Amino acid sequence: MKNDLFIRTLVGDHYSDKALRDEFNALIKEKTFKNRQIILKPGEVAKYMWLIITGWTMSYVDKADKKIPYVFHGPGELIIEVKSFFRKAPSDVAIQAIEKTTLFCISYDDLFMLLKKYPYLYESLIDRLEDLEVSVQERLIQYLSLSAEERYAALLEERPEIVLKAPVEYVAAYLGFSRKTLNRIRDSHRKSRRRSP
């Protein structure tokens, strides 16, 4: 089943329910976005929940014509603009592909039709939302409590793909400092790695 990862991610322990799997599979769509293509614009209502098959995206706020990323998503990760998707409210953020990206998606209406038909899915959905909340909270605590150098080191340890995939200015903004500061930290990091045995 081509949508297996998306189905397993959203239905969790209920994956053995063949009727649910078949119905879920029929509702999932596949979409491909080019590098730098916008997936969700600010002010637009998020009609879909996505799972990345290949590629990378970033969710960002636009401040004074500068993109400030607050999360990057890679293969196998869910993308949910929670406020917009669940409240049907205009999005405060944008989501953009940072390389060619293929996604599976399910619409709000289709997801909630499944939730009504299979109420035990609420538990799986709450688990996924809880995972997202924990991730955001950990990032916020890290942002508030670590120095610039420590934030960069943590990013290299926890999500090195971001440094490889995202343009330098987005990595700097994501970490909360200027491109100049990021370049200084990267140079220092490279020098210390060369000196290490």
Q: Contact, 85 vs 49, CB < 8 A?
A: yes
**In the prediction, which pLDDT does 93 show?**
96
The answer to whether residue 88 sits within a structural domain is yes
d(CA 32, CA 100): 7
The answer to whether residue 126 sits within a structural domain is no
Domain count, the chain: 1
Name the packing angle between helices 4-11 and 18-27 (round to 10°): 120
**In the prediction, which pLDDT does 5 show?**
80
Tokens of 89: 């409210």
The answer to whether residue 123 sits within a structural domain is no
Residues β-bridged to residue 79: 50
What radius of gyration do the chain's Cα atoms show? 19
**In the prediction, which pLDDT does 2 show?**
60
**Whole-model pTM?**
0.88
Task: Residue 61: give the domain boundaries.
Answer: 4-118
Mean pLDDT, the chain cut into blocks of 10 residues (197 residues total): 74 77 91 98 96 96 91 94 95 97 96 91 87 88 91 93 93 93 88 69
The answer to whether residue 20 sits within a structural domain is yes
Domain with residue 16: its CATH number is 2.60.120.10
